[in-house]
Structure 1
Amino acid sequence: MTKLPFYQVDAFASKPFEGNQACIMPLDDFLPDETLQAIAAENNVSETAYIVPAGEGVWKLRWFTPAVEVPLCGHATLASAHVLFNELGFDGEAIAFDTVKSGRLTVRRLKDGRLEMDLPAYRIFEVPVTDEIASALGARPVKAWGGAYYAAMFETPDQIIALDVDHAALKDLGEDSADWPRGNFGCFARGGEGVDVTSRVFGPGSGIDEDPATGSWHAMLAPIMQAVTGQDAVSCYQAYPGRGAHMETRLEGDRVKVIGQSVTVIEGQFTL
């Protein structure tokens, strides 16, 4: 039997049971793709991240949902850095992650203990709101953008909280992009309790009906908020029943800084 180190982390969380769960598995080398996917399905959280050392302060990083490998996952990147800084003793200021489709991502430890991710800002373009999409979301957005996600803007945060979507219908709707399939939706409204924007994320196209905290979505939301409000720095709340997540974003040219914290909730071994 092979035993692999295993950490489960609540990302974008100040204490357990907040934010989004990610399983982080440090490896010497990547296992076969079918094994990585099978482990992610067994873990059955929104993302399992695998990290492999690639030099001083550098790791290779891949992310798998229970169903597919994805080109970018922010919360599992944050969680991977949290594990390296807090569980595996990395004492540098910043960690570099080399990825297949999102290039080099860096995570820096701030003086207040939070982590700041540097992610690529997603390209955005306005798209129509169809009757089919409005029906599947359970309410009609006032405006929409395409890109990595279908981004749907609503008038109030209360509408976001109240959305009752048809996940099966959403799975084949939205915009195709080079790396992301259809069926990935970010729904948002300006405002909320103490924040600039409130959102929810639905990803049936990636095997996740609803995601509790989504860094990659905020890499698209940041340029949208800049276009809508002129703000480069935005405080964000991602709503999710029973959990919820807070993060901050800052748009800097074609990059987005996403800032948050994480907590380790499980440490153990995965046996193959």
Structure 2
Amino acid sequence: MNLPLYQVDAFTETLFGGNPAAVVPVQDFPPDELMQKIATENNLSETAFVAIRGRGKFNIRWFTPASEVRLCGHATLASAHILYQAGDKKLKTMRFKTQEAGTIVVRPEGNGRYSMDFAAEVPQPIRSPKGLRGILGGLKPEAVFAGTDDILVVLKNQKQLSGLSPNFPMLEALKKYRGLIATAPGKKHDFVSRCFYPAYGIDEDPVTGSAHTLLTPLWSKRLKKKKMEARQISARGGELICEMKGKKVRLTGSAVTYLTGQMLLDSEG
């Protein structure tokens, strides 16, 4: 069995920026063990497996090098880009059914840009977990929130966020959460962020779409704005337009194809 393989830089207009994701279109999902092996071999933050179910309808699953995850924004953007570019250019919407996160609606906007609608996640204020300041290298956050998967901290400014060097062993030991989202007001953007997921084999994720389902409601309330410009200030960096649409978060970004190929799996044992 051989399968096509694509690699896409998501949330960027140029190669070598944004967050790279692998996309594997399939007729039916391979065994979970094989999907995990492929994701581990790809060694990207996420590999998306997409099964075509009808015109503009797909099932999608995402794997990190270590495990399956319930939601991934940048690999969904990458998948939509590949399927749209290779398929029906008249599609107005693309619907991706997930295992645990409902259906993600993607709209091609032209020129390699796509908007994606996710369920908004309202951040819940919490007391700082034990050891949080140690995780943050001694920094005291201005506010601490929790989401379904992540702990979210608000720092004073972009300079403080840029200098953040988390204690990864301590963060990985924080078993209750998938990882850490750190955010601050931006200099040239409404807000900036960084995301860390060492428990999933990703010390720092270049650009994290799913984190913005939590960040967008937070900053919309703080800034009293519905539509905002955001940047994830990782080494690669990435740009997102974030918009509140009722109980949904709409994320808009660009994608660029880096690689197309084929996985030769006939000898896989």
With the shorter chain as reference, the TM-score category is over 0.9
| Equivalent residue letter for 2:173 | D
**What corresponds to 2:154 in structure 1?**
153
**What corresponds to 2:109 in structure 1?**
110
Q: Pick the aligned partner of 1:206 from 178, 200, 203.
A: 200
Instruction: Trace 1:78-97 onto structure 2 (pairs within 5 A).
Output: 78-97=77-96
**What corresponds to 1:189 in structure 2?**
184
Is residue 133–residue 173 contact of structure 1 (8 Å, CA) maintained in 2? no
* 1:208-262 superposed Cα distances (whole Å, 9 cap, x missing partner): 1110000000010011112322222111010112x10011100112210000000
Does residue 233 (structure 1) correspond to residue 234 (structure 2)? The answer is: no
Does residue 269 (structure 1) correspond to residue 262 (structure 2)? The answer is: yes
Counterpart secondary structure, 2:141: coil
Counterpart secondary structure, 2:211: helix
Deviation at residue 130 of structure 1 after TM alignment:
4.1
Q: How many angstroms apart in 2 are the aligned matches of 1:91 and 1:236?
A: 29
Deviation at residue 270 of structure 1 after TM alignment:
0.9
| Equivalent residue letter for 1:197 | F
Is residue 37–residue 68 contact of structure 1 (8 Å, CA) maintained in 2? yes
TM-score (norm 1): 0.93
* 1:116-157 superposed Cα distances (whole Å, 9 cap, x missing partner): 001111132101224511111212211011013111000110
Deviation at residue 56 of structure 1 after TM alignment:
1.6
Which deviates further from its counterpart, 43-52 or 144-153?
144-153
**What corresponds to 1:72 in structure 2?**
71
| Equivalent residue letter for 2:227 | A
Counterpart secondary structure, 1:141: coil
Is residue 84–residue 90 contact of structure 1 (8 Å, CA) maintained in 2? no
Q: How many angstroms apart in 2 are the aligned matches of 1:131 and 1:24?
A: 38
Identity %: 37
Q: How many angstroms apart in 1 are the aligned matches of 2:222 and 2:68?
A: 32
Q: How many angstroms apart in 1 are the aligned matches of 2:263 and 2:87?
A: 17
Q: How many angstroms apart in 2 are the aligned matches of 1:253 and 1:270?
A: 42
* 1:86-138 superposed Cα distances (whole Å, 9 cap, x missing partner): 23455312111011111111110114541000111113210122451111121
Structure 2 unaligned segments of length 5 or more: list them: none
Counterpart secondary structure, 2:74: helix
| Equivalent residue letter for 2:76 | T
**What corresponds to 2:53 in structure 1?**
54
Q: How many angstroms apart in 1 are the aligned matches of 2:89 and 2:69?
A: 26
Counterpart secondary structure, 2:54: coil
C-alpha RMSD over aligned residues: 1.4
**What corresponds to 1:179 in structure 2?**
none
Which deviates further from its counterpart, 127-136 or 64-73?
127-136
Q: How many angstroms apart in 2 are the aligned matches of 1:16 and 1:196?
A: 24
| Equivalent residue letter for 1:253 | G
TM-score (norm 2): 0.94
| Equivalent residue letter for 2:253 | G
Counterpart secondary structure, 1:110: strand
**What corresponds to 2:238 in structure 1?**
245
Q: How many angstroms apart in 1 are the aligned matches of 2:111 and 2:48?
A: 25
